[in-house]
């Protein structure tokens, strides 16, 4: 199986600091997951390049950006949104080349990235403080001010989307940024920074430094010149980032994944529900923080739902991203072995319905493909029911009533998203109240990636909110002001 190639050769990918393309003495290969072959050479940056990028961002913040008018920041975000839309096809091809995801999904990612900048352009001029009338003998108010230099460490599964969703509100609020992309998928992040410069974003406001997480990422997380950190990735790395930030007393926004449940009641609509459940776990081969990886289904419809989903999974087309299949590869051989390791664990305590290995038809060649997999009758404490697999593996368990459904749904250490499928409005509201999760969807899931909808976790899924107006609060700090008012003629 051979993936279509890009229409243009890829040059060496360098850091972008201010307006300078920085080349280091070392490079690393970026692999195309659909073929397993190198698709680009990337500068291997480290602490020295992070120092330069933080200095560049600091100079831009102090020199111009922090004093820029909200209308000017809004205009800059609109220009970035427009140039991302103009380069939609190029960005999607880079995203597919880098991550292996189907090109149609990558095109959506490019559109959503542009939408973030458009949305926060509108928010930039609506970032208001409050007037406090309850403070006696004073004119009291609050002001929302930027932190300064923000560090952004983004993952490999949705690099263009996650970069945009953290950078856009940071810029709109008046911060400057240093972006460290994942070493597995740096191409669209580098191109985003280049396009931002072309859109007349002032030099130094957005800097991008590729490299390994243990080198460039660790240097950014622990840098004394950073005022705020945003990290999306695994729980283990999130703990390291938070520990590094704590040494400098730096606030962090963490999104650390999930084990999101679908909860299906007997009155669900099969035509609406089943395709969305399937899509939520096979989108980008299940490499999605809020993937619907657990299916909790009422015992009266348990077997019929499992059989219908197995039929859907059996008809999915597997292939390289540029061929636009239903499911592409996982990001790397390391990730494939991780997924297959969980599959082997699942065989020990659950019933394998479909999948469970490497596809043979079509032959995956050297790509990192995994069959979409369903396990049924999964015990509540099974690793495949408790841990984030980050692959196309769906676990199914039954429940007898709403109370058991809520207990099972809340029965992991994660709390990112949940889907409730019922026509009973009262039951839906009861479930919304009971679920300990940052997002609840009723009769839909992911809500078409709406940028307006706040996103973030409960429990060990992290803290802070991205997306929506609430994200602006993550990138501003509140200053309270009280001015004494004297009564005329009294001196008091």
Q: How far is CA 222 from the centre of its chain?
A: 22
Mean pLDDT of 22-26: 86
**In order of start, what are the domains of the chain with their CATH numbers?**
15-257+456-478 (3.40.605.10), 261-415+417-449 (3.40.309.10)
Look at residue 9 in the predicted model and tell me its pLDDT: 55
Sign of the CA dihedral running 212, 217, 220, 223 = negative
* Nearest Cα residue to 92 out of 211, 7, 206, 183: 7
3-state secondary structure of 139: strand
Mean pLDDT of 68-85: 97
pLDDT tens digits, one per residue of 243-282: 999 999 999 999 999 999 999 999 999 999 999 999 999 9
pLDDT tens digits, one per residue of 85-117: 999 999 999 999 999 999 999 999 999 999 999
Look at residue 269 in the predicted model and tell me its pLDDT: 96
pLDDT tens digits, one per residue of 177-234: 999 999 999 999 999 999 999 999 999 999 999 999 999 999 999 999 999 999 999 9
Question: What's the DSSP call for residue 434?
Answer: H
Tell me the HSE value of 304 on the side-chain side, using a 13 A CA sphere: 10
Percent of the residues in the chain that have a pLDDT greater than 70, as a whole number: 96
> What are residue 344's DSSP bridge partners?
none
**Rounded Cα–Cα distance for residues 466 and 479 (Å):** 22
* Nearest Cα residue to 286 out of 90, 100, 447: 100
**Rounded Cα–Cα distance for residues 36 and 422 (Å):** 43
Look at residue 363 in the predicted model and tell me its pLDDT: 75
**Rounded Cα–Cα distance for residues 101 and 369 (Å):** 11
3-state secondary structure of 262: strand
Look at residue 424 in the predicted model and tell me its pLDDT: 98
* Nearest Cα residue to 32 out of 253, 320, 244: 320
Q: How far apart are the first and last CA of the chain?
A: 84
Residues recognised as catalytic = 255, 289
């Amino acid at each position: 199986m051979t993936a279509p190639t890009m229409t243009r050769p890829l040059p060496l990918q360098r850091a972008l600091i201010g307006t300078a393309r920085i080349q280091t003495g070392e490079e690393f290969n970026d692999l195309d997951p659909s073929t397993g072959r190198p698709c680009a050479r990337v500068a291997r940056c480290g602490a020295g390049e992070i120092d330069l990028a933080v200095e560049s961002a600091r100079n831009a913040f102090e020199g111009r950006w922090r004093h820029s008018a909200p209308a000017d920041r809004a205009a800059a975000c609109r220009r970035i949104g427009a140039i991302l839309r103009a380069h939609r096809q190029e960005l999607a091809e880079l995203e597919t080349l880098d991550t292996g995801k189907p090109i149609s999904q990558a095109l959506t990612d490019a559109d959503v990235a542009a939408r973030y900048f458009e949305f926060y352009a509108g928010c930039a001029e609506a970032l208001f403080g409050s007037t406090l009338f309850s403070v006696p003998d004073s004119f009291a108010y609050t002001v929302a001010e930027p932190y300064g230099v923000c560090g952004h460490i983004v993952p490999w599964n949705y690099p263009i989307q996650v970069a945009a969703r953290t950078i856009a509100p940071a810029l709109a609020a008046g911060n400057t940024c240093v972006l460290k992309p994942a070493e597995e998928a740096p191409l669209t992040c580098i191109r985003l920074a280049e396009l931002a410069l072309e859109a007349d974003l002032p030099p130094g406001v957005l800097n991008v430094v590729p490299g390994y997480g243990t080198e460039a990422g660790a240097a950014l997380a622990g840098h004394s010149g950073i005022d705020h950190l945003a990290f999306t990735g695994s729980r283990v790395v999130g703990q390291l980032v938070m520990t590094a930030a704590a040494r400098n007393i730096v606030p962090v926004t963490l999104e650390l994944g999930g084990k999101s449940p679908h909860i299906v009641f007997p009155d669900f609509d099969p035509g609406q529900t089943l395709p969305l459940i399937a899509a939520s776990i096979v989108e980008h081969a299940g490499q999605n923080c809020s993937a619907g990886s657990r299916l909790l289904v009422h015992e009266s419809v348990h077997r019929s739902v499992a059989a219908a989903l197995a039929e859907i999974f059996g008809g999915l087309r597997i292939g390289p991203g540029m061929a636009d299949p239903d499911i592409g590869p996982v990001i790397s051989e390391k990730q494939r072995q991780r997924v297959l390791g969980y599959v082997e664990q699942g065989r020990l305590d659950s019933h394998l319905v479909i999948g469970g290995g490497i596809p043979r038809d079509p032959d995956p060649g050297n790509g990192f493909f995994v069959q979409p997999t369903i396990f049924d009758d999964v015990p509540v404490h099974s690793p495949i029911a408790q841990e984030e697999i980050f692959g196309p593996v769906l676990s199914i368990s039954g429940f007898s009533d709403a109370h058991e459904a809520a207990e099972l749904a809340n029965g992991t250490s994660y709390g990112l998203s949940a889907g409730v499928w019922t026509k009973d409005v009262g039951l839906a509201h009861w479930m919304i109240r009971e679920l300990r999760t940052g997002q609840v969807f009723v009769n839909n899931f992911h809500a078409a990636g709406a940028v307006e909808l706040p996103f973030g976790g409960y429990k060990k899924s992290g803290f802070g909110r991205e997306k929506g107006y609430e994200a602006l609060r993550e990138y501003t700090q509140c200053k309270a002001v009280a001015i004494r008012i004297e009564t005329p003629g009294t001196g008091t």
